[in-house]
Amino acid sequence: MRNERPLRILHCFRSPVGGIFRHVRDLAEAHARAGHQVGILCDSTTGGAYEDALFDAARPFLELGIIRMPIHRTVGPSDLGVLWRCYKEIRGLQPDVLHGHGAKGGALARIVGSALRVDKYRVARLYSPHGGSLHYDRKSLTGGIVFQLERLQERLTEALVFVCDYERQTYFAKIGHPPGRSELIYNGVGDADFAPVETRPDAVDFAYIGMMRDLKGPDVFIDAFAATERAVGRPLSALMIGDGPQQPQYASMTARMGLSNRIRLLPAMRTREAFALARTVVIPSRAESMPYLLLEALAAGKPVIATRVGGIPEVLDADSRALVEPANAQALADAMAAAIEDTGWAARTMPDAERIRARFSASVMASRVMQLYRELTQERLIGEARLGSR
């Protein structure tokens, strides 16, 4: 008989910023509203006031609490202490489901979940890469080591959950087909995200919104902005909204290029607030999985120009004129110039919001993830019964 009791679910990830944090918050809220007990385990050294506010908003849905500790991005000796502390914290919570997100979160969830089996406690162990380690070059020394570690951890995993087909196919190509279960469950945004955002009268022409690091392409955005001005023959305006380790580098870059009075840098804020400040959103990433920013912008009715990376073509369509090649400032500038000079560009280029809603809904995402949790915990109960009969 199917077990319908409330589940105890713990999400493990490293950095509480960006898409992973949004993904976990959405799942936590949906599953808590359905009567389940949810918690978060993540790094304590990442994020600022903006992320603190997000934690405060999510706290009512996190009955298992928020566990934060220093978790470094790179692998090192400190990880041994982190694993031991995580083991003690998680053992005390007795979760039914450990869902790891990103490479570090996936390792913590699967290693600790496996250690719990020493006590014959069979927690369901899931892993969602969210890009993460998949960005490494397969031929590099680091990539080879990382992919081998990913392969080894497959034995500690009940299910892999991919947020887009690009991520799934990249995993298969770089690491291999997993011996166990894998599922494709698209990221989704909620009904509130589909309310149109009105553009302010003083809005700038373009906005970059996201982490301030080269992987996301802020430097490409700056170069493309300068090229767009040359193409249209007049000054334009832009915002770069977000936090990150390379923010001073981009401020220096805009100053060096004489753009400081036309490109302003602002700290991270809620995306819908940011959308009101610009006419067009630009996503110049060098690599992505399935960026929430893209889904949120389209749901809010904002025109988007993006690079042809990760799952972005699965949303905009592979032949969309809003897609450009990554790390190509001139190609990005050409699309930005078209958006400025052609008043019908957005209407002809952007996908229909209802089509986005039908495919990338948070309610569908949460329902499918919960169905997977249920099936895996049912298998756990069967496994425990078998152990008890020996």
Q: Which residues of the chain have pLDDT under 70?
A: 1-3, 379-390
- What type of residue sits at position 226? A
311-321: b (≥16 Cβ within 10 Å) or e:
bbbbbbeeebb
Residue 3 in domain: no
pLDDT digits (tens, 9 = 90+) for 187-215: 999 989 999 999 999 999 999 999 999 99
In this prediction, residue 121 carries a pLDDT of 85
Look at residue 1 in the predicted model and tell me its pLDDT. Answer: 37
pLDDT of residue 120: 75
Task: Tell me which residue range forms the domain holding 136.
Answer: 8-188+361-388
Domain count within the chain? 2
Task: Supply the pLDDT for residue 381.
Answer: 60
> Distance between CA atoms of 100 and 106, rounded to whole angstroms?
4
Cα first-last separation, the chain: 22
Tokens 């500790």 identify what position?
A: 69
Report pLDDT for 387.
Answer: 52
- Residues 353, 281: Cα–Cα separation, whole Å: 16
Nearest one of 132, 121, 201 to 163, comparing CA atoms: 132
What's the pLDDT at 390?
A: 52
| Same domain? 140 vs 125 | yes
Residues 58 and 178 in one domain: yes
User: Is residue 210 domain-resident?
Assistant: yes
Q: Is 304 helix (H, G, I), strand (E, B) or coil?
A: strand
pLDDT of residue 138: 87
CATH code, domain with 46: 3.40.50.2000
Specify whether 308 is located in the same domain as 198. Answer: yes
In this structure, are 15 and 162 located in the same domain?
A: yes
Same domain, 49 and 69: yes
Same domain? 111 vs 208: no
Does one domain contain both 155 and 199?
A: no
pLDDT of residue 385: 54
Does residue 296 fall inside a structural domain? yes
pLDDT tens for 269-286 read 999 999 999 999 999 999
Domain co-membership, 256 together with 379: no
* Judgement on whether residues 290 and 141 belong to the same structural domain of the protein: no
136 and 163 part of one domain: yes
In a domain, 1, yes or no: no
Tell me whether residue 2 is in a domain.
no
Instruction: Answer yes or no: do 254 and 125 share one domain.
Output: no
Same domain membership, residue 211 and residue 345: yes
